[in-house]
A and B are shown apart, each in its own frame.
Chain A
């Protein structure tokens, strides 16, 4: 029983990284912008957070540094795609390639350096519930923040005026522009906010999830997060669910390795990537299902007056 509680706790931990990044990308995509640079953003944010924590010893500063670094890079991406009208896919790819190179390059001094294990944050009372307590209530505060963020996003996107404007910018930038909304500034704000969330995910990954720096440590999680937004058909709550599901697949892989199953470890490492492919195929199969919630102008450039 104890091992299942640990597995569940680890699942939430792994899912949190994906959830934060995918929620950031969801905000981006609701405004009509696809950012294929998530992987690069997360890598640079992870490095910024790691370096900050090594030198200051403060997790909070680390999280802020990670968010700041990713927000800054996302802003560059945003200016390129929104003001200079560059192709969103190509620019995102450039961001991913640059982020991977830059983080490997700038982080070379820190390779294999480790951070001290984080003490567990147990919520008093709740954490003592047998089985459920250790599984759910011994997480880092940021893990709960991810849940709170979903609630906030549901309210923001579907109940607030600003959220309505954000969605309209992603659905029909022409109409939003005609109504006098500053489409490009709103899109940039969404890209920067989304970038900051990807940065938080990268910072969480490097400080809490695997407290050490290795080149390329995000290992495709940025891309999985992109797939999650499709998987969730752009609904925040489903993003969270999907993230935990994928966190579960990742953890299952370690669990199986630990129990000495006769499968080569490489096949277990493939699992999250294969799962992403399978799930993506199953979800995308029904075009109607996708189209209902997909922002209509997703990935399309908008330039007022052209």
Chain B
């Protein structure tokens, strides 16, 4: 019988090793899945882990998808570190996209380039507004932020559907549920020609840097985290848990909203029912796999982006459903949580049944 023995202090080795072991386990289970499906596992792994990095163009696409994942995850890290369980980032992302899309639709052909800033700010405001509903209900009514933020995802999606099927529908769009494509002037500037990577990537990396400074170099960042680790100590130190709640939700809502704005005014270029692509949920995994640390999340966002592209390639190359992405993402989070046990515990063999 296996027995867990608490370590006197957390293992530094395993706090780095656990994500690697989890990834290895995910690969093993994934390979078994490919075999079960009668597909060549080597070919399958190639599609997931080699194709997304093999060329400059592929690497660019990897960054395109890693950008929203990283942005959303950065915000979620502030939440999870302060023990606020915001799992409705997907809804905040959609509201950011709606607000940004609204501004983009207002713009005429000869609007100045400044409109991009207005679009991004609208996205941030949209995401913050949506998250503040959760904060308000938690603060005033003590309602579970998990359930409220999640229910708001479904509401946000319906709001988007209503807009693209109704008032914002493109009259010249052959009855497709979508808005007209945004004017060129509203599109987020790209970093270079020949790749879809936009300034969003720079914003996300700056965000990671800002989060690092906030968490580890400011008093406010410290106060934010103490509430999550030791609520009693936070109270004693006079750190307000209400403040922490609002800050966490506004930051994460704003980050998710910004990601939504960058998506619709960037790669997508219009509002469609396919704007919610699951980034809000995948970012939860990015946050955990990256240890809620800015640098860790940069790596895990790239990894998760790889799974996204792998899923798309599995569809076009191997005839496998795209949802394989979700299977891999879920597996990774499962195995990571299990492997994290090794950080705090030693596994011992014992005869005595535990």
Decide if A93 touches B143 in the complex (CB within 8 Å).
no
A60 interface contact, C-beta 8 A: no
In Å, the complex CA distance between A102 and B148 comes to 25
In Å, the complex CA distance between A219 and B284 comes to 19
Decide if B337 touches A94 in the complex (CB within 8 Å).
yes
User: With A230-B144, A282-B141 given, is the CB distance from A101 to B151 under 8 Å?
Assistant: no
- Chain B residue contacts of A97, Cβ below 8 A: 281, 284-285, 326, 329-330, 333
Which residue on B lies nearest to A80, using beta carbons?
Answer: B338
Taking Cβ atoms with an 8 Å cutoff, the residues of A that contact B are 36, 40, 76, 80, 83-87, 89-91, 93-95, 97-102, 104-105, 108, 215, 219-220, 223-224, 226-227, 230, 264, 266-267, 269-270, 273-274, 276-277, 280-282, 284-285, 287, 290, 303, 306
B318 interface contact, C-beta 8 A: no
B152 interface contact, C-beta 8 A: yes
The stretch among B158-166, B189-197, B206-214, B238-246 that forms the contact with chain A is: B158-166
10 A-B residue pairs with Cβ-Cβ distance under 8 Å, sorted by A, are A80-B338, A84-B337, A84-B338, A86-B337, A94-B334, A97-B326, A105-B323, A274-B151, A277-B151, A285-B142
User: With A97-B329, A100-B326, A105-B321 given, is the CB distance from A87 to B147 under 8 Å?
Assistant: no
Taking Cβ atoms with an 8 Å cutoff, the residues of B that contact A are 4, 6, 85, 87, 137, 140-144, 146-148, 150-152, 154-155, 158-159, 161-162, 165-166, 281, 284-285, 288, 320-321, 323-331, 333-334, 337-338, 340-341, 344-345
Closest chain B CB from A247 CB (angstroms)? 17
Decide if B4 touches A93 in the complex (CB within 8 Å).
no
Contact pick for A89, options B85, B141, B320, CB 8 Å: B85
Closest chain B CB from A2 CB (angstroms)? 31
User: With A266-B162, A273-B155 given, is the CB distance from A101 to B337 under 8 Å?
Assistant: no
Contact pick for B334, options A91, A270, A276, CB 8 Å: A91
- Chain A residue contacts of B281, Cβ below 8 A: 97
- Chain A residue contacts of B159, Cβ below 8 A: 266, 270
Decide if A280 touches B148 in the complex (CB within 8 Å).
yes
Closest 5 CB pairs of A and B: A101-B326, A98-B330, A104-B323, A266-B162, A94-B333
Which residue on B lies nearest to A101, using beta carbons?
Answer: B326
Decide if B341 touches A281 in the complex (CB within 8 Å).
no
- Chain B residue contacts of A80, Cβ below 8 A: 334, 337-338
User: With A80-B334, A97-B285 given, is the CB distance from A86 to B340 under 8 Å?
Assistant: yes
In Å, the complex CA distance between A93 and B320 comes to 25
Decide if B334 touches A36 in the complex (CB within 8 Å).
no
User: With A102-B330, A105-B324 given, is the CB distance from A84 to B4 under 8 Å?
Assistant: yes
Closest chain A CB from B158 CB (angstroms)? 4
In Å, the complex CA distance between A300 and B206 comes to 36
Closest chain A CB from B277 CB (angstroms)? 13
User: With A281-B141, A284-B141, A303-B4 given, is the CB distance from A89 to B155 under 8 Å?
Assistant: no
